[in-house]
Copies of this chain bind each other. A is one copy, B any other.
Amino acid sequence: MFSLNKGEGPRLLITGGNHGNELEGPLVARRIIEWLPKAQTCGNVIVLPVLNPLALQAWSRNTPLDGLNLNRVFPGRADGSVTERIADAVSRVLLPMADTIFDLHSFGPTWKCPPAATTHPIADPDLMANTVRMAEAFKLPLTLLWQHNDTAGMFDIVVQDQGKIFVCAEFGGGSVGADNLAIYEAGVRNALIALGLLGGKAEYPTFREQKSGQTLETDPSDEVKSPATGIFEPRCSVLDEVKQGDVIGVLHPLESLTAESVAIRAPSTSIVIGIASAAHVEINKAVAVVARPVKK
């Protein structure tokens, strides 16, 4: 763990390795530790590159010892299993030392998604507005308001219950190469500048030949599911705009080699924010996620 106190100012906690098979966050966190001591001008920054070292060592989403997903057991239990104890230590020891939390995730090798700063919808409108503003300060290609139905026990919830700001960074596209790791790192640096912890000018990094960002929202109805088990062939790319009914991919069934391939169509006029790449998929599992501009 890295901690640097330069007196009065914002108090930030950066965490990676919440899920042990998402290696980009730990790498970006370590890179920040390399340059932060020279760059930080005030405040207190704590960086914990690997929240769940047991899962990371096993290259596994969940902790092998107890099979638990760290991001579903918050706030944890001091007398619980190892995963619950990690959550408890984070909640009781680290959280009181910070007012803003960045948790660095990634999307895994068989999905493409753009670099994104995400939040779930929050009941408190002021906290929601401040959280979206913080997420947009990453200046990543996508700021995403992500409504899903499986948030009990997430790190977000315990942070937001204390009225603090939580931003989750995501990125997918194989495992992430050097060029895209640099985009991810630039997003975190932009957010540090916005918080006033660093000097310098925040700038949109170049992604798919553009330097820009947009704020979108998605809910469970925006998940496009596979009609059969088979191989998914993507026919569009992330950030593509699609019209309702456009073919976004083709599912080639595997049960029978003579089964007809099935076109998979966009459920609405929307923007593709995640798409499975040439990959095996199970019936009823998501092959794409679309999103729409936030309704004001």
Contact = CB atoms under 8 A, between A and B. Distances in A.
Nearest to A276: B175
Nearest to A229: B57
A265 to B, nearest CB: 15
A280 to B, nearest CB: 5
A181 interface: yes
A285 interface: no
A276 B176 CA distance: 9
A24 to B, nearest CB: 5
A143 B176 CA distance: 24
B277 A174 contact: yes
A110 interface: yes
Nearest to A22: B278
Interface stretch (A2-10, A118-126, A191-199, A230-238): A230-238
A257 B176 contact: no
Contact of A27 (B30, B57, B231, B254): B231
Identical chains bound together, number? 2
Contacts of A236: 178
Contacts of A175: 109-110, 174, 276-279
A53 to B, nearest CB: 6
A233 B181 contact: yes
A174 B27 contact: no
Contacts of A26: 231, 252
Given A56-B254, A177-B277, A275-B177, A109 B110 contact: yes
A224 interface: no
Given A23-B279, A179-B237, 20 more contacts: A23-B280, A26-B231, A27-B233, A30-B252, A30-B261, A50-B257, A106-B278, A109-B110, A112-B177, A173-B173, A173-B174, A175-B277, A177-B234, A177-B237, A177-B238, A177-B275, A177-B278, A178-B236, A178-B237, A181-B234
11 contacts: A23-B280, A26-B231, A27-B231, A27-B233, A30-B233, A53-B257, A110-B175, A174-B277, A175-B278, A177-B275, A178-B234
